[in-house]
Amino acid sequence: MTAYYWFRRLHLWLSLVLALPLLIILLSGLLLLLEPVLQTGLRAPEPLRPEAAQRLQQRMEVLQAEHSGCAVSYLGLSSPLIAQPRLYLRCADGFHSYELAADGSASVLSDGFFNWVLSLHRTLLLGEGGRQLVAISSVLLALSCLLGLLLWLVRGDRVQLSREHLLPQRLLSGKADGLRRWHALSGLYITPLLIVMVITGICWPWRAPLYSLLSAGQLDQPALKTVMAGPVATGMTADAVAAVPDLLALKSRAEALLPGYQLTGIVTPRPPAFNYQLRMVAREGLSLVPQHYLFLHPADLSLLQQVDIWPAPSSEPQASQSAGEQALTSLRFLQYGLHTGFVFGLPGVLLWALALLLTGGLLLVGGIVLWQRRRS
């Protein structure tokens, strides 16, 4: 038996075993891609004006006072991905989340349909075991795609491409094996994109071991924690951090550091680093996710570090990092944008959605081809 035979059998059985969980992951991922399109139309929001910021500040203070002992964990401002600002309070009994309207009113952010879809996508509704199952299924999907590429290369002489259409000649001519040819060519074109989705996806459940692997073991555990938490704000403790951030001061500081960019999110200080993390999106740009992350010291809002997901000049000194730390820091913040395609704007959303549809089609068409062979 040849290597081709074993590659083909392994490709077949991996696809059969993983078909059901993968179809669930693909369908839920497609729905999550479409969520911001349905909610905001991916339109750029109006800049946060001082009077609106003042109303948000007052509402945050009221909500924090209503939840004694709680502190603001994250404030998400209007962006192409969310229509209204969202506030998350960190309390002893968990998180409380609210949607803040333009008039200063607030409503509880309910666990709606898309939150259920997100849980389905991440864990298959099976808890931590489901999270690991999703990660393992994703890795095996990448392996199956690579095996498919090997099969395509072995039989590449039998899949002749039309120079005009970049499609198989026999598919264009309507021969009976067109489904198999479509399966082969679709897999060839979308495999690189699927590999990107898989690598960025498994960086959530397996972040620490993957980061250590990607750094070739050069970063020790303290260095990896720095990558995760950001630079340490010296002299700060939990007691010294304000329960509610000063939105106007943070907004002014962010716009002074990065003119032409809009503040879309604030992560408040927490151990072990106790820094502010500000997320910045270009007012006129393609990306739907932040291109720059500013880490500020809570005491005087001095810049501790600026992380640019794409290379960009910085106006202030940066925290010293090794090349490995810089690469992993950029990967950490680029991860979500690459996993979803949001970093490339609407074209990225459409391309990623097409890749998910084609991947589901690969599984279904592969099953149809197998069924036809069994019948014959």
pLDDT at 176 over 50: no
Tokens of 22: 């993968």
Smallest CA-to-CA distance from 213 within 224, 204, 201 is with 224
Mean pLDDT for the stretch of residues 251-262 = 92
Residue 243: the pLDDT is 82
Percent with pLDDT over 90 in the chain: 31
Mean pLDDT of the chain: 81
Looking at residue 320, its pLDDT comes to: 54
The structure's pTM equals 0.82
Domain ranges of the chain: 1-376
CA atoms within 13 A on the CB side of 165: 12
The phi and psi torsions of 296 (rounded to 5 degrees) equal -115, 150
Predicted pLDDT at 150: 79
Q: And the tokens for 78? A: 């209007």
3-state secondary structure of 199: helix
148 vs 244, which has greater pLDDT?
244
Residue 150, CA atoms < 13 Å, CB-side half-sphere = 15
Tens of pLDDT, residues 22-42: 999 999 999 999 888 877 766
Q: Report yes or no: 14 and 144 within 8 Å, Cβ to Cβ.
A: yes
> Would you tell me the crossing angle of helices 178-202 and 323-340 to the nearest 10 degrees?
130
3-state DSSP call for residue 69? coil
Q: Give per-residue pLDDT as tens, 181-218.
A: 777 778 878 888 999 999 899 988 887 777 777 666 66
What pLDDT, on the 0 to 100 scale, is given for residue 155? 64
pLDDT single digits (tens) 79-121 = 878 878 999 998 888 888 998 887 778 888 876 788 899 999 9
> Tell me, what's the pLDDT at 168?
47
pLDDT of residue 355: 92
Q: Both tokens of residue 222?
A: 């303290």
Residue 303 pLDDT class (50, 70, 90 cuts): very high
156: pLDDT confidence band, cut at 50, 70 and 90? low
Chain segment 307-349, per-residue pLDDT in tens:
888 755 444 445 455 666 666 777 788 889 999 999 998 899 9
